[in-house]
Amino acid sequence: MPEFSPSASSTAPSIAWFRNDLRLDDNPALAKAAAGERPVVALYVFDQSGDRPLGEASLWWLHHALAALQASLNDLKVPLLLRMGDAKDIVPSVVADTGAVGVYWNRRYTAGGITKDAAIKAHLKADNVEAESFNAHLLYEPWSLKTGSGGPYRVFTPFSRAARASGTPSQPTPAPKAIRGWSGTADTLELSDLNLLPTHPDWAGGLRDTWQPGTEGARANLASFVADKLSGYPDDRNVPGLAATTRLSPHLRFGEISPREVWHAAEIADAPRDSIFKFHQELLWREFSYHLLYHYPDLGSENHQSKFDTFPWLDHTSVKGAEQLKAWQQGQTGYPIVDAGMRELWHTGYMHNRVRMVVGSFLVKHLLTDWRAGEAWFWDTLVDADPANNTASWQWIAGSGADAAPYFRIFNPVLQGEKFDGDGAYTRHWVPEVAKLPKKYLHKPWEAPTAVLRDADMTLGSTYPRPIVDHKTARDRALQAFKSLSDTPNAA
Partner DNA sequence: TTTTGAGTTGTTCGA
Partner DNA sequence: GTCGAACAACTCAAA
Site of interaction with DNA (CB under 7 A): 147-149, 151-159, 161-162, 238, 281-282, 285, 353-354, 357, 393, 396, 403, 405-412, 415-416, 419, 471-472, 475, 483, 486, 489-490
The smaller minimum CB distance to DNA, of residues 155 and 227, is found at 155
Least distance (Å) between residue 159 CB and DNA: 6
The smaller minimum CB distance to DNA, of residues 173 and 353, is found at 353
Tell me the three state secondary structure of residue 361: helix
Least distance (Å) between residue 475 CB and DNA: 6
Least distance (Å) between residue 70 CB and DNA: 34
The smaller minimum CB distance to DNA, of residues 155 and 223, is found at 155
CA gyration radius, the chain: 24
The smaller minimum CB distance to DNA, of residues 70 and 249, is found at 249
The smaller minimum CB distance to DNA, of residues 273 and 472, is found at 472
State how far the Cα of 279 lies from the Cα of 295, in Å rounded to an integer.
25
The smaller minimum CB distance to DNA, of residues 203 and 285, is found at 285
Least distance (Å) between residue 478 CB and DNA: 11
The smaller minimum CB distance to DNA, of residues 288 and 430, is found at 288
Least distance (Å) between residue 77 CB and DNA: 42
State how far the Cα of 490 lies from the Cα of 308, in Å rounded to an integer.
8
* Euclidean distance between the first and the last CA atom of the chain, given in angstroms as a whole number: 57
C-alpha closest to that of 313 among 229, 372, 386? 372
State how far the Cα of 138 lies from the Cα of 144, in Å rounded to an integer.
11
Least distance (Å) between residue 307 CB and DNA: 8
Least distance (Å) between residue 226 CB and DNA: 20
Distance of CA 402 to the CA centre of its chain: 18
- Cβ count within 10 A of residue 402: 22
The smaller minimum CB distance to DNA, of residues 123 and 307, is found at 307
The smaller minimum CB distance to DNA, of residues 10 and 480, is found at 480
Least distance (Å) between residue 354 CB and DNA: 6
State how far the Cα of 294 lies from the Cα of 314, in Å rounded to an integer.
30
**Residues 125 and 98: beta-carbon distance below 8 Å:** no
State how far the Cα of 464 lies from the Cα of 155, in Å rounded to an integer.
41
Is the bond preceding residue 201 a cis peptide, omega within 30 degrees?
A: yes
**426: exposed, middle or buried (Cβ count in 10 Å: 0-12, 13-18, 19+):** buried
State how far the Cα of 393 lies from the Cα of 412, in Å rounded to an integer.
19
**273: exposed, middle or buried (Cβ count in 10 Å: 0-12, 13-18, 19+):** exposed
Least distance (Å) between residue 395 CB and DNA: 11
* Cα dihedral 389, 395, 398, 399 sign: negative
Position 440, amino acid: K
